[in-house]
A and B are shown apart, each in its own frame.
Chain A
Amino acid sequence: MIWALFAALTVAALALALRPLLGAAGGGAAARTDADFYREQLAEIDRDLGRGLLTPEDAEAARVEAARRLLAVAPGAAGPTAAPARAARRLSALAIAVLVPLLAVGVYLKLGRPDQPDLPLAARKSDDPAKLDLVAAVAKVEDHLRRNPNDGRGFEALAPVYMRMQRYRDAARAFSEAARLLGETPDRLVGLAEADIFMANGVVTAQTRRTLERALAADATYAGALYYLGLAAEQDGDTAKAVSLYERILGSAAPDDPSYAGVRRRIAQLKGGDAAAAIAALPKDDQQQAIRAMVEGLAARLSENGQDREGWLRLVRAWSVLGERDKAKTALADARKALAADAAAIGALDALARELGLEG
Chain B
Amino acid sequence: MIVEVGHFALVLALAMAIVQSLVPLWGAARDDEAMARVGAPTAVAQCLLVTISFLALTWAYMTSDFSVENVVANSHSAKPLVYKISGVWGNHEGSMLLWVLILALFGAAAALFGRDMPLKLRANVLAVQGMVSVAFLLFILATSNPFARLVPAPAEGRDLNPLLQDPGLAIHPPLLYVGYVGFSIAFSFAAGALISGRIDAAWARWTRPWVMIAWIFLTLGIAMGSYWAYYELGWGGFWFWDPVENASLMPWLSGTALVHSIIVMEKRDALKVWTLFLAIVTFSLSLLGTFLVRSGVLTSVHSFATDPQRGVFILAILVIFIGGALALYAWRAPMLKQGGIFAPISREGALVLNNLLLSACTATVFVGTLYPLALEATTGEKISVGAPFFNLTFGPLFLPLLLIVPFGQALAWKRGDLAAVTQRLIFAGVAALILVGLLWAVTSGESVLAILGAGLALFVIVGSIGEVIGRVWRKGVSLPLALRRAVGLPLSAWGTAFAHAGLGVSLLGLAATGWGVEKIVTVKIGEIVPIAGYEVRVRALEPRAEANYSETVAAMDVLRDGVKIADITPSKRLYTTRQMPTTEAGIATIGFGQVYVALADDAGPDRVGMRLYWKPLVLLIWIGSLVMAFGGALSLADRRMRVGVARRAPARLAPAE
Bound complex: CA A121 to CA B77 (Å): 8
Which of A17, A54, A82, A138 is B643 in contact with, Cβ under 8 Å?
A54
Bound complex: CA A244 to CA B572 (Å): 47
Which of A57, A80, A103, A112 is B650 in contact with, Cβ under 8 Å?
A57
Which chain A residues (78-122) contact chain B, with CB distance < 8 Å?
79-83, 85, 88-89, 92, 96, 99-101, 103-104, 107-108, 111-114, 116-122
Please, what's the 1-or-0 string for A43-57, where 1 marks a CB less than 8 Å from any CB in chain B? Answer: 011001000011101
Binds B, one of A21-29, A261-269, A271-279, A344-352: A21-29
Residues of the B chain whose Cβ atoms lie less than 8 Å from the Cβ of A121: 63-66, 77
Residues of the B chain whose Cβ atoms lie less than 8 Å from the Cβ of A111: 7, 11, 141, 145, 147
Which of A26, A32, A124 is B118 in contact with, Cβ under 8 Å?
A32
Binds B, one of A62-70, A220-228, A286-294, A315-323: A62-70
Interface centre among B15, B66, B77, B141 (most CB of A within 10 A): B15
CB of B48, distance to nearest CB on chain A (Å): 8
Residue B260, interface by CB 8 Å: no
Assuming A41-B643, A48-B643, A58-B640, is B16 touching A13 (CB within 8 A)? Answer: yes
Cβ contact within 8 Å between B31 and A83: yes
Cβ contact within 8 Å between A69 and B201: yes
Cβ contact within 8 Å between A88 and B32: yes
- Chain A residue with the shortest CB-CB distance to B20: A17
Cβ contact within 8 Å between B4 and A112: yes
- Chain B residue with the shortest CB-CB distance to A116: B149
CB of A331, distance to nearest CB on chain B (Å): 32
Bound complex: CA A26 to CA B27 (Å): 13
- Chain A residue with the shortest CB-CB distance to B3: A118
Residues of the A chain whose Cβ atoms lie less than 8 Å from the Cβ of B152: 133, 135
Residue B67, interface by CB 8 Å: yes
Residue A254, interface by CB 8 Å: no
Which of B7, B64, B202, B648 is A61 in contact with, Cβ under 8 Å?
B648
Which of B23, B52, B77, B141 is A92 in contact with, Cβ under 8 Å?
B23
Cβ contact within 8 Å between B19 and A100: yes
- Chain B residue with the shortest CB-CB distance to A89: B34
Residue A217, interface by CB 8 Å: no
Interface centre among B27, B33, B77 (most CB of A within 10 A): B33
Assuming A13-B49, A37-B118, A89-B34, is B64 touching A19 (CB within 8 A)? Answer: no
Assuming A41-B644, A62-B640, A135-B152, is B67 touching A119 (CB within 8 A)? Answer: yes
Cβ contact within 8 Å between A113 and B639: no
CB of A166, distance to nearest CB on chain B (Å): 12
Bound complex: CA A138 to CA B152 (Å): 15
User: How many B residues, CB 8 Å from partner?
Assistant: 75
Binds A, one of B153-161, B274-282, B471-479: B153-161
Bound complex: CA A104 to CA B49 (Å): 12
Which chain B residues (17-36) contact chain A, with CB distance < 8 Å?
18-19, 23, 26-28, 30-36
- Chain B residue with the shortest CB-CB distance to A60: B647
Assuming A1-B1, A121-B65, is B31 touching A62 (CB within 8 A)? Answer: no
Bound complex: CA A177 to CA B117 (Å): 70
Bound complex: CA A17 to CA B67 (Å): 34
- Chain B residue with the shortest CB-CB distance to A53: B639
Cβ contact within 8 Å between A81 and B77: no
Binds B, one of A4-12, A229-237, A245-253, A333-341: A4-12
Cβ contact within 8 Å between A120 and B65: yes
Residue B563, interface by CB 8 Å: no
Other 19 A-B pairs with CB < 8 A, given A9-B52, A38-B201, A80-B32 = A12-B45, A13-B49, A16-B42, A21-B38, A28-B37, A37-B118, A44-B643, A48-B639, A65-B646, A69-B201, A79-B118, A85-B30, A89-B32, A103-B15, A113-B4, A114-B4, A117-B1, A119-B65, A119-B67
Identify 29 residue pairs between A and B in the complex whose beta-carbon atoms are under 8 Å apart, listed by A's number: A5-B8, A9-B12, A9-B52, A13-B45, A16-B45, A17-B45, A20-B37, A20-B38, A21-B38, A28-B37, A31-B33, A37-B200, A38-B201, A44-B643, A58-B645, A62-B647, A69-B201, A79-B120, A80-B32, A80-B36, A82-B33, A96-B23, A100-B12, A112-B11, A116-B151, A118-B60, A135-B153, A142-B156, A146-B78
Give me the 8 closest cross-chain CB pairs, A-B, nearest first.
A120-B63, A135-B155, A61-B647, A20-B37, A119-B67, A121-B64, A62-B645, A80-B31
Which of B's residues lie within 8 Å of A, judged by CB? Answer: 1-5, 7-9, 11-12, 14-16, 18-19, 23, 26-28, 30-38, 41-42, 44-45, 49, 52, 60, 63-67, 77-78, 116-120, 123, 141, 145, 147, 149, 151-156, 198, 200-202, 488, 490, 547, 639-640, 642-648, 650
